[in-house]
């Protein structure tokens, strides 16, 4: 450094001395000044003199070049990572039944509709080792009470034993679906692939007027809104239309069927002349299972009574097997009984229906 530079150097030292003097004055009057050190943030002045300060200390960040941590009393803990919300566990529907193969779901109005209009498709599925889940919405009581309903149900279980080629006890479980419909579910003790469910809602009668014994309450009237609720004949809980529909949707979603069989719905060109219960159930199933996207492509609608006017489709061993299955059922049905193949086929109208099987896709319904 040259001599010429020294005055400037001194001037800087004088300026610094003035600054120090000013700071000393400030300290003496108790001004609250916050300084930062490598050990943290500390107020001086009031704290040093033992006089309480009225000023609010202002936090400052520790020097970025320091490797020393902030004191525990002043360090800001790192923000905790947001915790993931616990997964929502939705319990399975009481109607769920595991199946290791494909599932055929069939939904009918009366016990025997499956054997008359759904075979040989049902028997073929059983023979192929598939799961078959069948639901009957009415008890088919014909105004005769629970005794007649139970006899028809017994006939159905015998028929399914015949189709599966085994006899044995059936386990019974009462299941109330989350949507409200209660069913009694039967499954062979040694074969979980099969189950048959009975909801036992009142039979609507071929006249669609119901029966005195059940107060003329029908599924058709429930669908149309003429009545608000429908009570099963076995004193189960009454259900409204929304509950019936939601229960069918729930069942289809729980069982995940590859195929679904039911009746032709209202509005189809094949509905006039059919039993009113048939077309009502077909309408309910079409609307309800139609909400289960994966099940929609596999829905098929069985032509009922009007099939008698269509060409025959069954003959030979296939027809013989279908008739024998129906005959076994009919031994328990006091209204319709046939002793052998020929007498079953000669039974008015039933013989015509047994000789035919028409399963329609949505596009085939010819809806008006």
Q: pLDDT tens-digit profile of 71-115?
A: 444 445 555 556 666 666 668 999 999 999 999 999 999 999 999
Q: What residue ranges of the chain have pLDDT lower than 70?
A: 1-90
Beta-ladder partners of 183: 175
Q: What pLDDT score was predicted for residue 76?
A: 53
Alpha-carbon dihedral 176, 211, 285, 197, rounded to 10 degrees = 40
Q: What pLDDT score was predicted for residue 78?
A: 56
Q: Rounded to whole angstroms, how far apart are CA atoms 216 and 77? A: 74
Q: Can you give the pTM of this predicted structure?
A: 0.77
Q: What pLDDT score was predicted for residue 79?
A: 59
Q: What pLDDT score was predicted for residue 88?
A: 64
> Which residue do the tokens 């020294």 mark?
6
Q: Which of 357, 333, 360 is nearest to 347 (CA)?
A: 333
Q: What pLDDT score was predicted for residue 91?
A: 83
CB 264 within 8 A of CB 282: yes
């Amino acid at each position: 450094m040259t001599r010429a530079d020294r005055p400037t150097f001194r001037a800087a030292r004088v300026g610094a001395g003035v600054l120090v003097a000013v700071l000393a004055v400030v300290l003496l009057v108790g001004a609250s000044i916050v300084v930062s050190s490598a050990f943290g943030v500390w107020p001086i002045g009031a704290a040093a003199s033992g006089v309480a300060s009225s000023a609010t200390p202002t936090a400052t960040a520790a020097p970025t070049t320091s490797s020393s941590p902030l004191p525990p009393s002043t360090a800001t803990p790192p923000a905790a990572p947001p915790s993931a919300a616990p997964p929502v566990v939705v319990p399975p529907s009481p109607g769920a039944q595991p199946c290791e193969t494909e599932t055929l779901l069939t939904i009918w109005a009366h016990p025997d509709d499956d054997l008359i209009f759904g075979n040989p498709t049902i028997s073929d599925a059983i023979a192929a080792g598939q799961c078959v889940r069948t639901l009957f919405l009415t008890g088919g009581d014909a105004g005769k009470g629970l005794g007649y309903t139970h006899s028809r149900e017994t006939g159905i279980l015998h028929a399914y034993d015949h189709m599966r080629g085994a006899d044995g006890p059936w386990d019974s479980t009462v299941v109330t679906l989350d949507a409200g419909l209660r069913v009694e579910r039967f499954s062979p003790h040694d074969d979980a692939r099969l189950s048959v469910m009975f909801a036992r809602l009142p039979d609507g009668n071929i006249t669609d007027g119901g029966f005195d014994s059940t107060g003329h309450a029908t599924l058709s009237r429930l669908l149309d809104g003429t009545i608000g609720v429908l009570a099963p004949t076995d004193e189960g809980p009454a259900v409204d239309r929304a509950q019936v529909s939601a229960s069918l949707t729930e069942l289809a979603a729980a069982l995940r069927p590859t195929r679904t069989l039911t009746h032709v719905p209202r509005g189809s060109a094949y509905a006039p002349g059919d039993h009113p219960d048939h077309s009502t159930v077909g309408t309910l199933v079409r609307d309800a299972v139609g909400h289960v996207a994966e099940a929609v492509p596999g829905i098929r609608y069985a032509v009922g009574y009007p099939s008698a006017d269509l060409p025959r489709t069954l003959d030979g061993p296939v027809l013989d097997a279908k008739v024998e299955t129906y005959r076994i059922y009919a031994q328990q049905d006091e209204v319709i009984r046939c002793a052998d193949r020929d007498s079953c086929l000669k039974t008015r109208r039933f013989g015509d229906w047994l000789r035919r099987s028409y399963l329609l896709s949505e596009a085939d319904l010819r809806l008006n």
